[in-house]
């Protein structure tokens, strides 16, 4: 089969016939005591990065083989590894020296990571970088499912870790100051107690998060055999898995791209991992069978991909800026004025090749041109984009040709400044985002505007003890066509809508008619998991108004609530 290999991923995913190729891959053999490898294909998910470690060289399109070298030197932070039986083996040997003899004397590390930049992960009181490191963005991702299969090292004074950190795309390059630097320890397994799994969240400078430290009993010695570790991350929570069993939920979530680190750490001077056990022989090993990352497959039957501008890979001067005008209160800014200053998305999935509509939300207080390039093809020029001020946003529509599978989309302007990118949608556009919303009742702290702010973390709530029916009304200045409504809610069993009608009106004021009814809705969870209830119906045209008539709801806390409303 003729394949185009996706970059920057491993040559294990083929853009042509991708799903077939994934399903056909064979998991490596396992001993009787090992937990078996999962299939690469994961229903409902799209593979975005993977390394099965079946070769003889590290894939440096995915991995950077040093540990935070900007705080030390490349010589002291270089990973020590080899390949054995289809596994990457991170090793610590007796001749290795501490990675940072000034700030972390006695700690020896062998680790790899998917990105690198100055100031990254200032874990202690560094006043400056040791030296400048070129920025590396091999693989970053916001939200998804991630998995490794690994065997950890036993022995006091040593631990194995799989963790993620924010890539600090809002960073002040002069000082390193950032608000996007949280750390997720998917696992830290101490060699002195390898039957326990430490799962932690460290907010660092992210004031939207709270510190969380957790110890999970594995029920087995994790150093004696291979186990599968999974991490699922979405807008509202994080779920941690061991051998396909859910072991921990955190009801909070960083909302920016993160990079991945895998490492083996030895504390020769003792410390929080215990006194070093001299009886444990070298080399000490952290053995990794595979690494895989996925994003959720787009919703069907209506295909729609939505991205926030600040979630892009941002190059050179491009960075995240905060603004209340943006849907997520952040934009990708400082794009343009040179070919090296651009924003790029590398994981835009299309179910089939073809031409798709794209709607780009932007902010610019003056006329600026934006160029959009797909898969290194001929760029599209969008001229004289002006949202009226730097405190308001606007949108522009175009069309793009996508390949089947993953696509790369770049936003740039080589010769002048481009507008700030707020967001974009490919495929069906959520019309609720452009509507004027009102409700028959609302909690002032959780207003109806939260229904259509492209943010699953915010919520609309009714007043307490509502009298049914309640209404949520959307109005547009121009006629629209509708064929689907979707409600997204958390804690559905406690506050989800259980029966509603969709009504439409030609003028948005009078003549409301029932277009569709939901019947009784059942919610499966009462936690931070976001559930979607979709109602599809025959398309209606020429309507300036759509109304959700809420007939019944779960009122465990005296109100009903919706995180986000979608209208297509």
In a domain, 471, yes or no: yes
Q: What are the pLDDT tens digits along the chain (568 aa)?
A: 333 223 333 333 433 333 333 333 333 444 448 999 999 999 999 999 999 999 999 999 999 999 999 999 999 999 999 999 999 999 999 999 999 999 999 999 999 999 999 999 999 999 999 999 999 999 999 999 999 999 999 999 999 999 999 999 999 999 999 999 999 999 999 999 999 999 999 999 999 999 999 999 999 999 999 999 999 999 999 999 999 999 999 999 999 999 999 999 999 999 999 999 999 999 999 999 999 999 999 876 678 999 999 999 999 999 999 999 999 899 999 999 999 999 999 999 999 999 999 999 999 999 999 999 999 999 999 999 999 999 999 999 999 999 999 999 999 999 999 999 999 999 988 999 999 999 999 999 999 999 999 888 899 999 999 999 999 999 999 999 999 999 999 999 999 999 999 999 999 999 999 999 999 999 999 998 899 999 999 999 999 999 999 999 999 999 999 999 999 9
Instruction: Name the domain boundary from 368, 392, 427.
Output: 427
Asked if 402 and 470 sit in the same domain, the reply is no
Q: Kindly report whether the peptide bond that precedes residue 367 is cis, defined as omega within 30 degrees of 0.
A: no
Asked if 98 and 238 sit in the same domain, the reply is yes
Q: Are 514 and 476 in contact (CB under 8 A)?
A: no
Positive or negative, the Cα torsion across 241, 242, 248, 250?
negative
Q: Could you tell me how many residues make up the chain?
A: 568
Structure-token pair, residue 207: 């004031």
Asked if 414 and 436 sit in the same domain, the reply is no
How far is 228 from 222, CA to CA, in rounded Å? 10
User: Hunting for tokens 């603004």 — which residue is that?
Assistant: 323
Asked if 110 and 235 sit in the same domain, the reply is yes
pLDDT of residue 444: 93
Instruction: Name the domain boundary from 427, 461, 492.
Output: 427
In a domain, 44, yes or no: no
Q: Are 545 and 472 in contact (CB under 8 A)?
A: no
How far is 47 from 73, CA to CA, in rounded Å? 34
In a domain, 447, yes or no: yes
pLDDT of residue 28: 40
- How do residues 294-305 score in pLDDT, each as one tens digit? 999 987 667 899
In a domain, 41, yes or no: no
CATH, residue 155? 2.60.120.200
How far is 244 from 234, CA to CA, in rounded Å? 18
Residues 419-429 as b/e (b if ≥16 CB within 10 A, e otherwise) read bbbbbbbbbbb
DSSP three-state, residue 556: coil
pLDDT of residue 153: 98
pLDDT of residue 298: 85
In a domain, 320, yes or no: yes
pLDDT of residue 344: 98
Within a 13 Å sphere around the CA of 172, how many CA atoms are in the beta-carbon half?
8
In a domain, 4, yes or no: no
Number of domains the chain contains: 3
Instruction: Name the domain boundary from 427, 442, 464.
Output: 427
Structure-token pair, residue 53: 């470690």
Reported pTM: 0.86
Asked if 227 and 322 sit in the same domain, the reply is no
The residue among 243, 8, 45, 226 whose CA lies nearest residue 136 is: 8
DSSP three-state, residue 77: helix
CATH, residue 335? 2.60.120.260
Say if residue 439 is exposed, middle or buried (CB neighbours under 10 Å; 0-12, 13-18, 19+): buried
Asked if 346 and 443 sit in the same domain, the reply is no
Residues 54-91 as b/e (b if ≥16 CB within 10 A, e otherwise) read eeeebbeebbbbbbbbbbbeeebbbbbbeeeeebbbbb
Say if residue 540 is exposed, middle or buried (CB neighbours under 10 Å; 0-12, 13-18, 19+): middle
Please write down the HEC assignment for all residues of 321-344. EECCCCCCCEEEECCECCCCCCEE
- How do residues 206-228 score in pLDDT, each as one tens digit? 999 999 999 999 999 999 999 99
Asked if 238 and 315 sit in the same domain, the reply is no
Residue 25 CB contacts under 8 Å (≥ 6 apart), including other chains: 12, 39, 40, 41, 52
Range of the domain at 316: 304-427
Asked if 450 and 399 sit in the same domain, the reply is no
- How do residues 369-424 score in pLDDT, each as one tens digit? 999 999 999 999 999 999 999 999 999 999 999 999 999 999 999 999 999 999 99
pLDDT of residue 1: 31
Asked if 414 and 442 sit in the same domain, the reply is no
Asked if 416 and 536 sit in the same domain, the reply is no
Asked if 496 and 459 sit in the same domain, the reply is yes
Asked if 337 and 210 sit in the same domain, the reply is no
pLDDT of residue 16: 34
In a domain, 518, yes or no: yes
pLDDT of residue 24: 33
In a domain, 395, yes or no: yes
């Amino acid at each position: 089969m003729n394949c185009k290999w996706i970059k920057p991923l491993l040559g294990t995913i083929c853009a042509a016939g991708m799903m077939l190729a994934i399903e056909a891959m064979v998991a490596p053999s396992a001993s009787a005591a090992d937990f078996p490898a999962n299939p690469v294909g994961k229903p409902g998910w799209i593979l975005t990065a993977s390394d099965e470690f079946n070769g003889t060289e590290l894939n440096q399109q995915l991995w950077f083989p040093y540990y935070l070298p900007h705080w030390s030197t490349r010589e002291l932070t270089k990973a020590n590894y080899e390949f054995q039986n289809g596994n990457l083996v991170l090793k610590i040997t007796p001749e290795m020296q501490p990675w940072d003899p000034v700030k972390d004397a006695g700690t020896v590390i062998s680790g790899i990571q998917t990105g690198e930049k100055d100031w990254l992960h200032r874990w202690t009181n560094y006043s400056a970088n040791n030296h400048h490191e070129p920025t590396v963005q091999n693989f970053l991702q916001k939200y998804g499912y991630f998995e490794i299969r690994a065997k950890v090292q036993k022995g006091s004074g040593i631990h194995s870790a799989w963790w993620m950190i924010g890539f600090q795309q809002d960073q002040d390059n002069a000082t390193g100051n950032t608000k996007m630097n949280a750390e997720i320890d998917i696992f830290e397994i101490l060699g002195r107690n390898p039957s326990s799994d430490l799962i932690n969240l460290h907010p660092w400078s992210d004031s939207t998060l709270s510190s969380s430290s957790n110890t999970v009993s594995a029920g087995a010695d994790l150093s004696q055999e291979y186990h599968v570790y999974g991490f699922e991350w979405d807008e509202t929570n994080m779920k941690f898995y061991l051998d396909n069993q859910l072991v921990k939920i955190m009801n909070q979530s960083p909302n920016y791209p993160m990079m991945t680190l895998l490492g083996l750490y030895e504390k020769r001077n003792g410390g929080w991992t215990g006194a070093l056990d001299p009886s444990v022989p070298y080399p000490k090993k952290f053995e990794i069978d595979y690494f895989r990352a996925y994003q959720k497959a787009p919703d069907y039957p209506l295909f729609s991909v939505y991205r926030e501008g600040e979630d892009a890979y941002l190059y050179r001067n491009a960075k995240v800026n905060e603004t209340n005008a943006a849907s997520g209160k952040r934009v990708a800014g400082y794009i343009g004025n040179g070919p090296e200053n651009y924003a790029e998305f590398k994981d835009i999935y299309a179910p089939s090749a073809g031409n798709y509509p794209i709607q780009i939300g932007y902010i610019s207080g003056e006329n600026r041109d934006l160029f959009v390039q797909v898969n290194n093809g001929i760029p599209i020029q969008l001229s004289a984009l002006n949202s009226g001020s730097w405190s308001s946003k606007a949108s522009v529509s175009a069309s793009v040709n996508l390949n089947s599978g993953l696509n790369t989309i770049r936003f740039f302007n080589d010769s002048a400044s481009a507008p700030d990118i707020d967001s974009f949608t490919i495929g069906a556009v959520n019309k609720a985002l452009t509507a004027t919303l009102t409700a028959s009742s609302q909690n002032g702290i959780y207003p109806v505007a939260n229904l259509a702010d492209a943010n699953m973390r915010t919520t609309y709530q009714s007043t307490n003890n509502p009298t049914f029916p309640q209404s949520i009304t959307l109005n547009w200045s121009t006629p629209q066509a509708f064929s689907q409504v979707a409600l997204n809610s958390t804690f559905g069993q406690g506050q989800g809508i259980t029966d509603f009608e969709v009504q439409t009106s030609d003028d948005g004021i009078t003549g409301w008619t029932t277009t569709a009814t939901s019947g009784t809705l059942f919610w499966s969870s009462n936690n931070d998991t976001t559930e979607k209830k979709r109602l599809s119906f025959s398309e209606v045209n020429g309507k300036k108004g759509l109304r959700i008539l809420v007939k019944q709801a779960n009122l465990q806390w005296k109100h009903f609530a919706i995180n986000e409303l979608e209208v297509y």
